[in-house]
Amino acid sequence: MYIPTLIFSLLAFASSPILAAPANQIVSGAEVTGTTCLDKTAALDTHSTNVAILSICGGIAGSIQKCGGAPASTIGQSGTSKFELKALQAGATINISKGRWERCVKAAQLTCPTGTFTSTCVGGATVGDVGFSLTEV
């Protein structure tokens, strides 16, 4: 195989949208409330965090557009990046679209651009909001 072609193919694979960072979501910050930074020095790997984002609810990567299974809580983990989500209102279940979830993480990262945090995603449950955290495991 022609080597430059091979290299180009590898680069194209590495930047494939399957594992790429969430689309450049435009967020205002109003998507979340009560964001609290925990450890701003936690050395989370960005790629692992992006994979963890898509690992909630048993996986929402690719063509899956929302959290399936209506859980009351869920975990999305990859490497040392761990998201924990919980419907805050008693009896509620998580009913969040991938877009809303990605926007909530981005919005929390406006306040806490590095490291770990807790926050509340406005809406995203059958009733009320979804509390979530990003921690290092």
Ligand X SMILES: *[C@@H]1O[C@H](CO)[C@@H](O)[C@H](O)[C@H]1NC(C)=O
Chain positions contacting ligand X, by CB under 6 A: 95, 97, 126
**Which are the contacts of 27, defined by CB distance < 8 A and separation ≥ 6?**
103, 106, 107, 110
Q: Tell how strand 129-136 and strand 73-78 pair up.
A: unpaired
We find the least distance from the C-beta atom of residue 67 to ligand X, in angstroms, to be: 9
We find the least distance from the C-beta atom of residue 122 to ligand X, in angstroms, to be: 14
Quick one: 99 or 113, whose CB is closer to ligand X?
A: 99
Quick one: 93 or 135, whose CB is closer to ligand X?
A: 93
Quick one: 97 or 111, whose CB is closer to ligand X?
A: 97
| Backbone φ, ψ for residue 94 (5° rounding) | -75, 125
Label residue 13 exposed, middle or buried (CB < 10 Å: 0-12, 13-18, 19+): exposed
We find the least distance from the C-beta atom of residue 70 to ligand X, in angstroms, to be: 7
